[in-house]
C-alpha cells in the first residue's frame, strides 16, 4: 500500500519563503521551473518537422517564433506540473532540489508564473504564427496538467503511456505553423514519439524505482518486476520502429530516411533486447544497465529528426 506523499514530505521544505534570496538565484529558479532540458527535446522534434512541412528551409523568423512560443507553452506546463507535484517532489531525491521545494519560489508564484506563460504563449503563437498551432500548443499544456499530472500520474501504471501524448504535440505544432493544417506525415511522427516515450522513460523509472515507491507514484517498475517492464519496452520498441518506417510511403521521403530509420531502429532494438535479456537472467543493480537504453533513446530521437530535416533537400 502506498503512503501519501503529503504525509511523507519533510517539514519546512514546501512553501518556504523566498524572501531575501539573491536576484540572480531567483531568476535561475524561475527558469528551472520551465524544465529547460526537457523542452530542448521537445523543440528538437518541432523544428525538423517544419523543414519537412516546407519541403526545404522554412521562414527563419517563423521558426524563431515557434521555438519561443513553444518554449513558453511547455515551460508553463512544467511550472504548473511542479506546483501540483510539490508534495511528491519534496519526497523524491531526484526532485528535492526543485525551486518550490527549496523555497526559492513560493507555490503561489509558481502557479501565477505557469498561468502567465500558458496565456502569454497561446496569444503569442495565435497572433504571430496561427491559431491552429496556438490551439495545439494549448491543448498539449492542458493535457499535461489536467490529464497527466492531476489525473493519471498518481493513479495508474499507464501514466507515462497516455501522458506522453502531450510530448507528441510539438510535431503537430511545427507542421501547423508552416501549413496551417495537419497531415498523415505529421501523424506518423506524432506516433513515433508516442511509442518512443514509454521505452524512453521506463528505464529511468527502473533506475529510480525506490524514489517513486517512496512518493506513492505507481510507475510501472514500482508495481511490476524488471522483467515485466523490459518486456513492455521491447513491445513498444518494435511498434515504434515499424511506425517510423511508415513515413517513407506516407511522407514521400527519399531513400535516406527509411535507411536511416532502419539502422537507428536496429540499434534501438539491440539495446531493448539486451535490457530484456539481462532482466530475464535476473540481473539487478548496476549490472542491469537500464540507463544505456535511456541515453540511447535521446540519441535515437535526435538523429531520426535530423534526418527528417535533411531529407527534403535530397
Which of 161, 180, 199 marks a domain boundary? 180
Rounded CA-CA distance 236/265 in Å is 12
Average pLDDT (33-56) is 90
Rounded CA-CA distance 137/118 in Å is 9
pLDDT of residue 268: 97
Tens digit of pLDDT for each residue in 45-72?
999 999 999 999 999 999 999 999 999 9
Tens digit of pLDDT for each residue in 178-229?
999 999 999 999 999 999 999 999 999 999 999 999 999 999 999 998 999 9
pLDDT of residue 98: 95
Domain assignment present for residue 8? The answer is no
Residues 106 and 136 in one domain: yes
Residues 209 and 131 in one domain: no
pLDDT of residue 271: 97
Domain assignment present for residue 24? The answer is no
Which of 117, 152, 180 marks a domain boundary? 180
Residues 169 and 65 in one domain: yes
Domain assignment present for residue 266? The answer is yes
Report the run of H or E that residue 148 belongs to, with start and end: none
Tens digit of pLDDT for each residue in 75-93?
999 999 999 999 999 999 9
Tens digit of pLDDT for each residue in 124-180?
999 999 999 999 999 999 999 999 999 999 999 999 999 999 999 999 999 999 999
Provide the grid cell at 39. Answer: 523542452
Residues 204 and 166 in one domain: no
The residue segments making up the domain with residue 198 are 183-314
Provide the grid cell at 313. Answer: 533537400
> If you average pLDDT over every residue of the chain, what do you get?
92
Which of 129, 150, 180 marks a domain boundary? 180
Average pLDDT (98-123) is 97
Q: What Cα–Cα distance (Å) separates residue 128 from each residue in 71, 77, 118?
A: 15, 20, 15
pLDDT of residue 19: 57
Residues 173 and 205 in one domain: no
> How many domains are there within the chain?
2
Question: What pLDDT band is residue 40 in, cutting at 50, 70 and 90?
Answer: confident
Amino acid at each position: 500500500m502506498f503512503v501519501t506523499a503529503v504525509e511523507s514530505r519533510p517539514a519546512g521544505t514546501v512553501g518556504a519563503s523566498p524572501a531575501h534570496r539573491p536576484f540572480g538565484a531567483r531568476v535561475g529558479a524561475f527558469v528551472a521551473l520551465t524544465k529547460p532540458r526537457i523542452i530542448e527535446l521537445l523543440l528538437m522534434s518541432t523544428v525538423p518537422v517544419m523543414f519537412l512541412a516546407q519541403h526545404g528551409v522554412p521562414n527563419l523568423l517563423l521558426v524563431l517564433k515557434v521555438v519561443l512560443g513553444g518554449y513558453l507553452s511547455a515551460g508553463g506546463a512544467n511550472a504548473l506540473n511542479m506546483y501540483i507535484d510539490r508534495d511528491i517532489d519534496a519526497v523524491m531525491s531526484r526532485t528535492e532540489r526543485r525551486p518550490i521545494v527549496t523555497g526559492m519560489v513560493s507555490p503561489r508564484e509558481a502557479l501565477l508564473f505557469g498561468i502567465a506563460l500558458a496565456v502569454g504563449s497561446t496569444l503569442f503563437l495565435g497572433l504571430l504564427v496561427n491559431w491552429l498551432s496556438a490551439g495545439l500548443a494549448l491543448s498539449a499544456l492542458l493535457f499535461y496538467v489536467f490529464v497527466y499530472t492531476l489525473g493519471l500520474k498518481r493513479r495508474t501504471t499507464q501514466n507515462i503511456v497516455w501522458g506522453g501524448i502531450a510530448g507528441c504535440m510539438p510535431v503537430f505544432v511545427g507542421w501547423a505553423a508552416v501549413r496551417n493544417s495537419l497531415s498523415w506525415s505529421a501523424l506518423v511522427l506524432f506516433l513515433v514519439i508516442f511509442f518512443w516515450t514509454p521505452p524512453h522513460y521506463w528505464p529511468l523509472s527502473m533506475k529510480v524505482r525506490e524514489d517513486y515507491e517512496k512518493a506513492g507514484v505507481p510507475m510501472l517498475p514500482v508495481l511490476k518486476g524488471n522483467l515485466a517492464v523490459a518486456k513492455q519496452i521491447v513491445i513498444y520498441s518494435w511498434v515504434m520502429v515499424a511506425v517510423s518506417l511508415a513515413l517513407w510511403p506516407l511522407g514521400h521521403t527519399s531513400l535516406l530516411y527509411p535507411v536511416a530509420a532502419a539502422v537507428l531502429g536496429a540499434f534501438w532494438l539491440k539495446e531493448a533486447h539486451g535490457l530484456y535479456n539481462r532482466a530475464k537472467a535476473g540481473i539487478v543493480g548496476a549490472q542491469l544497465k537500464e540507463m544505456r537504453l535511456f541515453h540511447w533513446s535521446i540519441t535515437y530521437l535526435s538523429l531520426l529528426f535530423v534526418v527528417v530535416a535533411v531529407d527534403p533537400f535530397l
